Amino acid sequence: MDDKVVPPGEPVPEEGWIYLRLEGDAKHRGEQHGKALAKELRDALDVGDFMAEWDTGENLKYFAGLVGEAFGPLDDEYLDEIRGIVKGATGGKAAFTPRRKVPITEEVLIAWNAYNELVGTWWPLDPPQDTAVGTRVRSSSGRCSAFATTGAASDGGKIVMAHNTWDRYAIAECYNIILDIVPPAGKGHRVLMQAAPGYITSGADWVVTDAGLMICEATIGSFTGHFLKGKTPEFQRSRKAAQYGDSIETWQQRMLDGNNGGYANTWLVGEAKSAKKRIARIDVGSAQHGSEERTDGYFACYNVASNLRVRNQETSDPGAYSDLRGNGARRVRFDQLLGNSVRMTAEQAQKVIADHHDVYCDNAIRPGSRSICGHLDLDDGHAGNHGREPFYPHGANDGKVMDSDMAANMTFQARWGNSCGLPFDAKDFLATHPQYEWLTGWLRDRPTRQWATFPPKR
């Protein structure tokens, strides 16, 4: 093994992130994962359990009891990986987290991997329905900002991609894991991705593979399609598409295979190793989907579906495309920053994904719910607050960038905390906004961090 490669199973802290390389067959990878991140997994299940109960009145054990009803069987490879994580984290025994007593079991880990689907998209408010269409999903607020450029829009014609993950600050603290998954020969591609402890997929959806695929997404806001019971969960489809896809087309085929509509997103996929440097924007709803590709220009994502059928038939707010009080503001700002033949570089991308201009307020520098780097905690909600209450502790929790040269060498750059580096002091925030006292003990400080390169060098 190259002496610059971090040995498998050895967690490496880096600017708030934890990098972990996993090698071998599925069970062995899982055991490395569970053993190395046992504490982080227990902490993640704690906060996930708390937030699930706050949102729905039900805890993670309740949702774990639904996985057999909600999903079809998982592939053996990914079930083995989940079982390996359980074994590694518990030593073969059912371990419990110290605060909320969440058992680390196979069913709990499936529910945790499917958190965005079960808790964030669907849960059985209605009696079970044995129909072909399934259960109508709840509307959800949008998350994430992202863009990709290529051809004349990029320096040297490279693909440049950037992304930040929006989420509630309490649960977003889980997504500081960088997993580097190296399967055996014949079992797909190496996958380097941002994730949460216990996840077999990214969840935050920032991925690069040794096939040269560059992958990210933004949630489709106000999605009201159908959750199709008995189909393949999104967390398995997204992992399988990354691990076994070798082009935009094969990635899309695997992503749509068995689509359950559980977590609807607009995906950006680039081919770093192709001569044409293609990029694609792909909306994956439930009954509807759509894709478009370019070898010159850019795509941006801002929590509004680009495909008109998805937008008009599977969301409750198609007008969000033009609404400058909400997601439409980021769309306009991306056009300002990415248009006019800007030749994007990775260094420029760091600045774009950290942008604080508010086009609704005359392009003032005003970090809030309408800026590309979101800060709902700084927004009084006077002109709308992304579907949340005023000053809600929610927004961009990171920043990531890569160009096609970096991706071809399996590297990317990432900043933990948020894209711009603004610090967040949990004690001061709760003292100023006592309406969120229910988050006491769950919010953490977010100091200014620097950009780091992954994998880290030894």
Q: What confidence tens digit (pLDDT) does each residue in 130-186 have?
A: 444 466 665 556 689 999 999 999 999 999 999 999 999 999 999 999 999 999 999
The better pLDDT of the pair 251, 123 is held by: 251
Local structure of 213: helix, strand or coil:
strand
Domain assignment present for 56: yes
Domain assignment present for 348: no
What pLDDT is stored for residue 131 in this prediction? Answer: 46
The better pLDDT of the pair 123, 193 is held by: 193
Domain assignment present for 452: no
Q: What confidence tens digit (pLDDT) does each residue in 40-63 have?
A: 999 999 999 999 999 999 999 999
Q: The CATH number of the domain where 85 resides is what?
A: 3.60.60.30
Rounded CA gap, 201 and 239, in Å?
Answer: 5
Domain assignment present for 443: no
Domain assignment present for 349: no
Q: Which stretch of 13-17, 72-76, 225-229, 362-366 has the lowest confidence by average pLDDT?
A: 225-229
What is the identity of the amino acid at 416?
Answer: W
Alpha-carbon distances, residue 378 vs 206, 350, 389, 425 (angstroms):
26, 21, 11, 12
**Farthest-apart Cα atoms in the chain, separation:** 59
Local structure of 70: helix, strand or coil:
helix
Q: What is the dihedral of CA 287, 252, 352, 409, to 10 degrees?
A: 160
C-beta atoms surrounding 127 within 10 Å: 6
What pLDDT is stored for residue 272 in this prediction? Answer: 98
Q: Which domain holds residue 328?
A: 1-343+405-412
Q: Confidence class of residue 326 from pLDDT cuts 50, 70 and 90?
A: very high
28: pLDDT strictly greater than 90: yes
Domain assignment present for 378: no
What pLDDT is stored for residue 140 in this prediction? Answer: 57
Domain assignment present for 233: yes
Place of tokens 């989907």: 289
Determine the average pLDDT of the residues in 416-443.
98
Question: 72 with 258: CB under 8 angstroms?
Answer: yes
Domain assignment present for 380: no
Number of domains, the chain: 1
Q: Confidence class of residue 127 from pLDDT cuts 50, 70 and 90?
A: very low
> Own/partner pairs for 273-277, CB < 8 Å, 24+ apart?
273/211, 273/212, 273/404, 273/408, 274/212, 274/247, 277/150, 277/151, 277/154, 277/157, 277/158, 277/159, 277/404
Q: Confidence class of residue 458 from pLDDT cuts 50, 70 and 90?
A: confident
